[in-house]
Amino acid sequence: SCYKEMFSGCEKLNSIKVGFSNWADETYPATQNWLNGVSVTGTFECPKALSSSRNESHIPNDWKIGNPKYLCFTAQKAGAQIALIKNGTPTDIQFQTSDNGYIWNNYTIGETKTLSATGDYIYFRANDIYSTMGNSENNCYQFTLSAAPIAASGSVMSLMDSTCNMSSLLGTYTMANLFKDCTYLTQAPKLTATKVSAYGYYKMFAGCTGLKTAPELPATTLNVACYHSMFLNCANLTTAP
């Protein structure tokens, strides 16, 4: 039981990555109570061979399984729906979705994904590495959210990079309109790019009336109009980046 009570009582702990693929419970539970009393919600990243059993000695009940860098949508009420549509002719990208962070399926543009229960979640990513997404205001990808409130987390960069290592937003209008008019969006994802292209986030969250807090903007290299109308008509926004 070498991991016994290892993080017990670490109430702020909300992310763990492990490399083992077996819980080693045969004789003495190796991880007995190791996550007892940690944060109620968090992310657990592990090899796909590891059993996803839920308890304080394995994976906490309400933690997500997967890479916390991937763009993720979590239902705040049952029945929330998500779709990704294509306007015009943006870069041709094969997107993928996952409900566990390690088994991925190709996504059909326009397909509606339903989160049946409160707390259900879905990840989105590209199947490879792409340099751009959109290329103009009318040639872009756009999420549509419906039926119930949804919180986003993880980084939008997973939509362009399956490894989640890309730090530069290239091309013009790359993520323009991405969440435009998503009135059911209550929490924005992370915008982790440190370099943002011209019009890169144009109208990205315009009309997102469910947002109260804007995401942080860590970029230090900014190009012309990169934040143009980014939060246009976000009527309930109270906290700026």
Residue 8: per-residue pLDDT: 93
- Mean model confidence pLDDT for the chain: 92
Residue 27: per-residue pLDDT: 66
* pLDDT band at residue 54 under the 50/70/90 scheme: confident
Let me know: does 72 contact 99? Beta carbons within 8 Å. Answer: no
- DSSP class of residue 98 equals E
Cα 95 to Cα 76: distance, rounded to the nearest angstrom: 24
CB burial readout 72-98, b (16+ within 10 A) else e: bbbbbeeebbbbbebbeebbebebbbb
Once rounded to an integer, what is the mean pLDDT over residues 13-27?
Answer: 84
pLDDT in tens, 133-191: 999 999 999 999 999 999 999 999 999 999 888 999 988 999 999 999 999 999 999 99
Cα 228 to Cα 156: distance, rounded to the nearest angstrom: 18
Residues for the chain: how many in total? 241
| pTM score | 0.83
